[in-house]
């Protein structure tokens, strides 16, 4: 493992050294990582800008082959990658193996997307030379890549939303070079994956600078990356505070740039009465598992359960309490995250009207930074007047809000901020009785779910992972699924150009055989 | 003509009165308009929010019929509309008749788009119940409207980018109610068109609040509209200063919202040597007309001509000088715009190294607020060191920048800010010789044009009217053409829902017969 900063194809050491920490023991892990200086930030972005002028025109077969090679190189890292990621994140082996599969799956999915080619949305209006009073020129439009992207690795997905994760792969697929700021919680995992990308880029002789990775354990370099004039787009997955800081910096630049910040969400789940009455035990098991999954460190963690007072609810609460009690503690990603979780969850329990429905008693005393799942409860009337209760508690915590009647439940939903997901647990009879409540879910969220848990974000064309502010900084885009490529492109029209000077995607005769919208007709003509 | 503010279906007077001015005479025109108070802003947005909950679900046939009725009602206004617009804008009859055709054409185009329905980009991934380790749920995605839109009427298109212009029609097509802030330069034209929209909305029994229009001759109401919590999106066409002020307000809200500001552009035109040598007279005629068109008050006005030193260029300059001299002065939109044009264009002529290539001598002394076309010239080396020369002069002014050699010309292009358009005038021999220069045009602009003028923005599916900052606040969207609808929508995914609870666009069997992407295949299945 080469732990140096990677700028283009060259490793460079950087300044002050830092080490990774194993959160399950608090011990330092092998390997020195070096915070970079501002000149290294310059060097990475200079190379990225130069690489862009070539890479944007790299043919789609080569781009697709490159992405597939990254997947192969990641798989070739074998157990070393999984073991390092386990040590750095505290996440269990099966989860990280699954996450590796998701990461390589994403790379292959975007390779397919790029190779197929229709994602550029080519639209053609042929000339009307005989139109009066003036002829209409030939106009053809498609998406082109915007330029170098800075990707902030996420703490909670050391593989799938980090160095070769969803942001990087969708940017590279679009034709944009990427400079990754490695998350300081898992620099070794990052270094291994970075080397895989480097090998793949070299194999396909891509221009130097198509990928770089820099390390830092403070905020200095992140700021320099966002403010750098050659940075065109920033992606970030993390806290509201972190995301907003980057967004403000980007807006205050001389030339403002987009920041796609996914800033978390409490993912409300509405539990309807008939479903609770008929299936309380199964729902309790399912949701206890979802709340505790990955130590609750998912952006789609169900942090808010909403229900109407009923006999079924009482049975559900008892079942949930039992289910949560049986779940053991698990290691959180970093000591800082764990400390925050303990502090915030205990603070929530001190808020007026909040009581405990259930909590885990299974503390693993052999390990450090353990999070214990907690389910709290509050009345809708207390919830409505207390903004603190609407804040995210990052970890295995969920608040059950109990409404006295349906209108009050609707008020609670209306009072929520933007969310990544909104779920409903309902039987058929519930769906008939609560139509307007169900319809209101699309007002607040990017994904609406029936009788499923919000955790588990499928990487498919139809996925929307993004929601109204403050869930994300821009509800019009997604960070998961093939739609994620749209964050890195803008449309350009070509007016009155001969075929030989048009991109292949726009040429008459459709040499790339992509789907196009030509003179008001969809087809492959 | 009812000159009161229109809030939903009710006219209300408002406070302080103001009148429209005929810029060609400076005289006040008939009719009192009334600036509204903050309570009227509240009332309009309350109604808009309520209307949204119905209008977003209004079936596509009704929405399309509504848009077509608006076009019919505008046509039914007949000469009264054209005459009022002429008096208020100083623009000639033929131009305004053409603009009316463009406006009704836009309405009908968006009606077709909505009725056809595929614009929602429905994407379906069917469930995989047998997938291991966990089944994959059914996931379906499409665009949904975001909410009330505030449209700032533009001064330079009293019909096509004003009350029922491109912003309004694309927002209404998306399913978003609209509150228009009428431009104070043409309140009478605005009132007439507003009444046409009201009649059409009433005819189709749309919810009250789907459209409102408010008048103001200061900045107070605009600020209140942008800061209002029920406003979800803002559109604006105007100056850089005005657009940036709105953008900052929107970013500083508790819940930030998008502002689509089109803030102007100098639209560089590269004149290559062989074309100039072979066609200097024709090019000079064509460009003199484009520069002076509509008193130069187009966002796509060619404000910057770039050329290499050559014998052909000298001939072109003489021809351009002759052509410009023959063009008469024309009335500008407002006294303020005219004053600014005179001041800025004369200031530019005082900048170091700037000389005059040609100017119109045809001042129409019968009319006020006359703009005289001016072509100035400067060397590339002077241009490169003087940021002031890169600023837009709103009016019939263009600056010719002369480079000594191709690399210097490339430096000039690289030094330009983002533009709506970039044009090239070239013969076939030029295209072969200057490939990399031509390729660099897509770096700076949203539309690249060969051997056409940038003025004349076709309203077609393939149009991109938008470019990198500061031409617009968001290069990823267009304000002209059917793509404009995308500014008002966001994607939502439905996970695991039965057919009867899905929008028709996403139902199995495709009852609306729209184009969809189902299980990786495009089609109408």
Q: How far apart are CA A390 and CA A416, in angstroms?
A: 7
pLDDT of amino acid A198 = 98
For A41-79, the pLDDT digits (tens) are 999 999 999 999 999 999 999 999 999 999 999 999 999
What would you measure as the largest C-alpha separation in chain A, in angstroms? 83
For B441-492, the pLDDT digits (tens) are 999 999 999 999 999 999 999 999 999 999 999 999 999 999 999 999 999 9
pLDDT of amino acid A399 = 98
Q: Which tokens belong to A129?
A: 């030379």
- pLDDT bucket at B15, cuts 50 / 70 / 90: confident
Residue A146 predicted with pLDDT over 90: yes
Probe site for chain B from A476, A480, A497 (most B CB atoms < 10 A)? A476
CA distance A348 to chain B (A): 23
Q: How far apart are CA B14 and CA B30, in angstroms?
A: 18
Asked if B462 and A124 come within 8 Å (Cβ–Cβ), the reply is yes
pLDDT of amino acid B264 = 83
Q: Residue A281 is inside which H or E element, if any?
A: helix A273-292
- The proportion of chain A whose per-residue pLDDT surpasses 90, expressed as a percent, equals 97
For A286-310, the pLDDT digits (tens) are 999 999 999 999 999 999 999 999 9
| Residue A520, Ramachandran bin (φ over 0: left; ψ between -120 and 50: alpha; else beta) | left
Q: How far apart are CA B445 and CA B448, in angstroms?
A: 7
Considering only CA atoms, which of B103, B220, B118, B245 is closest in space to residue B167? B103
Residue A264 predicted with pLDDT over 90: no
pLDDT of amino acid A224 = 97
**Helices then strands, each counted (H, E), chain B:** 16, 25
Q: What angle do CA B512, A459, A174 make, to 5 degrees?
A: 90
Name every residue whose Cβ is closer than 8 Å to that of residue A336 and which is 6 or more positions away in sequence: none
The whole model's pTM is what? 0.97
pLDDT of amino acid A459 = 95
A418 contacts in chain B (CB < 8 Å): 255
**Minimum-distance CB partner of A451 among B136, B140, B496:** B496
For B295-332, the pLDDT digits (tens) are 999 999 999 999 999 999 999 999 999 999 999 999 99
**Minimum-distance CB partner of A515 among B456, B462, B522:** B522
Considering only CA atoms, which of B192, B212, B206, B217 is closest in space to residue B28? B217
pLDDT of amino acid B293 = 93
Average of pLDDT values for B279-307?
96
Considering only CA atoms, which of B84, B88, B80, B108 is closest in space to residue B24? B88
Considering only CA atoms, which of B250, B235, B238, B231 is closest in space to residue B184? B238
Q: Which tokens belong to B393?
A: 């002069």
Q: Exposure of A300 by Cβ count < 10 A (0-12 exposed, 13-18 middle, 19+ buried)?
A: buried
Asked if A456 and B515 come within 8 Å (Cβ–Cβ), the reply is no
Q: Is the Cβ–Cβ distance between A243 and A261 less than 8 Å?
A: yes
Name every residue whose Cβ is closer than 8 Å to that of residue A41 and which is 6 or more positions away in sequence: A214, A221, A224, A225, A228
Considering only CA atoms, which of B419, B11, B48, B365 is closest in space to residue B231? B48
Average of pLDDT values for A411-424?
97
B370 has which bridge partners? B331
Q: Is the Cβ–Cβ distance between A95 and A27 less than 8 Å?
A: no
Average of pLDDT values for A388-402?
96
- The proportion of chain B whose per-residue pLDDT surpasses 90, expressed as a percent, equals 97
Probe site for chain A from B143, B493, B502 (most A CB atoms < 10 A)? B493
- pLDDT bucket at B218, cuts 50 / 70 / 90: confident
Considering only CA atoms, which of A375, A363, A202, A410 is closest in space to residue A301? A375
pLDDT of amino acid A13 = 87
Average of pLDDT values for A482-503?
97
Q: How far apart are CA B156 and CA B297, in angstroms?
A: 6
Average of pLDDT values for B186-201?
98
Q: Please, what is the average pLDDT of chain B?
A: 97
Q: Is B390 on the interface with A (CB under 8 A)?
A: no
A417 contacts in chain B (CB < 8 Å): 255
Q: Is the Cβ–Cβ distance between A191 and A88 less than 8 Å?
A: no
Q: Residue A81 is inside which H or E element, if any?
A: helix A78-89
For A173, list phi and psi in degrees, rounded to 5: -65, -40
Q: How far apart are CA A422 and CA A98, in angstroms?
A: 25
Q: Which tokens belong to A197?
A: 């990308």
Q: Is A128 on the interface with B (CB under 8 A)?
A: no
Q: How far apart are CA B142 and CA B164, in angstroms?
A: 26
For B194-214, the pLDDT digits (tens) are 999 999 999 999 999 999 999
Q: What angle do CA B47, B49, B51 make, to 5 degrees?
A: 65
Q: Is the Cβ–Cβ distance between B512 and B498 less than 8 Å?
A: no
Q: Is A141 on the interface with B (CB under 8 A)?
A: yes
Residue A133 predicted with pLDDT over 90: no
Q: How far apart are CA B473 and CA B262, in angstroms?
A: 7
B150 has which bridge partners? B179, B234
A256 contacts in chain B (CB < 8 Å): 469, 473
Q: Residue B423 is inside which H or E element, if any?
A: strand B419-425
A331 has which bridge partners? A370
User: How many alpha carbons lie under 13 Å from residue A357 in its C-beta half-sphere?
Assistant: 28
User: How many alpha carbons lie under 13 Å from residue B147 in its C-beta half-sphere?
Assistant: 20
pLDDT of amino acid B257 = 98
Asked if B125 and A461 come within 8 Å (Cβ–Cβ), the reply is yes
Give residue for tokens 């214990």.
A372
Q: How far apart are CA A389 and CA A404, in angstroms?
A: 18
For A73-132, the pLDDT digits (tens) are 999 999 999 999 999 999 999 999 999 999 999 999 999 999 999 999 999 999 999 998
Active site positions of A, annotated? 262, 299
Torsion angle (degrees, nearest 10) of CA B355, B359, B361, B363: -110
- pLDDT bucket at B13, cuts 50 / 70 / 90: confident
Q: Residue A105 is inside which H or E element, if any?
A: helix A93-116
For A167-178, the pLDDT digits (tens) are 999 999 999 999
B522 has which bridge partners? B517
A118 contacts in chain B (CB < 8 Å): 522
How far is C-alpha A303 from the geometric centre of its chain's CA atoms?
A: 17
For A395, list phi and psi in degrees, rounded to 5: 150, -175
- pLDDT bucket at B14, cuts 50 / 70 / 90: confident
Handedness of CA A333, A339, A342, A344 (dihedral sign): negative
């Amino acid at each position: 493992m080469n732990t140096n900063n990677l700028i283009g194809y060259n490793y460079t050491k950087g300044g002050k050294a830092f080490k990774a920490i194993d959160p399950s023991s608090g011990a330092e892990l092998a390997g020195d990582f070096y915070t970079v200086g501002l000149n290294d930030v310059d060097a990475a972005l200079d190379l990225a800008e130069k690489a862009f002028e070539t890479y944007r025109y790299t043919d789609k077969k080569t781009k697709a082959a490159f992405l597939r090679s990254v997947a192969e190189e990641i798989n070739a890292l074998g157990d070393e990658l999984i073991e390092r990621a386990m040590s750095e994140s505290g996440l269990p082996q099966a989860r990280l193996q699954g996450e590796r599969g998701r990461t390589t799956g994403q790379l292959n999915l975007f390779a397919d997307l790029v190779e197929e080619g229709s994602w550029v949305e080519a639209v053609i209006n042929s000339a009307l030379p005989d139109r009066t009073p003036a002829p209409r020129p030939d106009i053809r439009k498609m998406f082109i890549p915007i330029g170098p992207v800075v990707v902030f690795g996420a703490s909670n997905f050391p593989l799938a939303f980090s160095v070769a994760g969803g942001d990087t792969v969708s940017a590279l697929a679009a034709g944009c070079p990427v400079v990754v700021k490695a998350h300081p919680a898992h620099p070794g995992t990052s270094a291994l994956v970075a080397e895989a990308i480097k090998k793949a880029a070299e194999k396909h002789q891509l221009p130097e600078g198509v990928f770089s990775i820099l390390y830092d354990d403070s905020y200095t370099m992140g700021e320099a990356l966002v403010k750098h004039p050659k940075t065109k787009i920033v992606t970030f997955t993390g806290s509201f505070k972190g995301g907003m800081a980057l967004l403000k910096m980007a807006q205050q630049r001389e030339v403002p740039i987009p920041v796609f910040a996914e800033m978390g969400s409490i993912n409300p789940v509405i539990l309807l009465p008939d479903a609770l009455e008929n299936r309380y035990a199964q729902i309790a098991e399912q949701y206890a598992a979802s709340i505790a999954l990955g130590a609750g460190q998912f952006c789609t963690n169900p942090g808010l359960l909403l229900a109407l007072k009923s006999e079924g609810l009482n049975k559900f609460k008892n079942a949930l309490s039992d289910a949560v009690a049986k779940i053991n503690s698990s290691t959180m990603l970093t000591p800082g995250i764990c400390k925050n979780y303990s502090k915030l969850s205990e603070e929530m329990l001190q808020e007026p009207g909040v009581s405990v429905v259930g909590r885990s008693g299974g503390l693993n005393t052999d390990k450090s930074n353990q999070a214990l799942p907690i389910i709290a409860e509050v009345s809708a009337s207390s919830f409505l007047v207390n903004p603190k209760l609407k804040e995210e508690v990052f970890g295995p915590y969920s608040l059950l809000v109990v409404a006295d009647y349906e209108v009050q439940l609707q008020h609670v939903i209306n009072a929520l901020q933007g969310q990544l997901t909104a779920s409903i647990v309902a039987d058929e009879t519930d769906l008939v009785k609560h139509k307007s409540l169900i319809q209101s879910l699309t007002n607040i969220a990017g994904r609406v779910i029936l009788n499923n848990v919000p955790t588990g974000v499928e990487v498919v064309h139809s996925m929307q992972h993004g929601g109204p502010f403050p869930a994300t900084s821009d509800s019009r885009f997604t960070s998961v699924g093939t739609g994620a490529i749209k964050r890195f492109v803008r449309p350009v029209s070509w007016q009155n150009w001969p075929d030989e000077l048009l991109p292949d995607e726009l040429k008459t005769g459709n040499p790339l055989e992509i789907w196009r919208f030509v003179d008001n007709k969809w087809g492959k003509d």
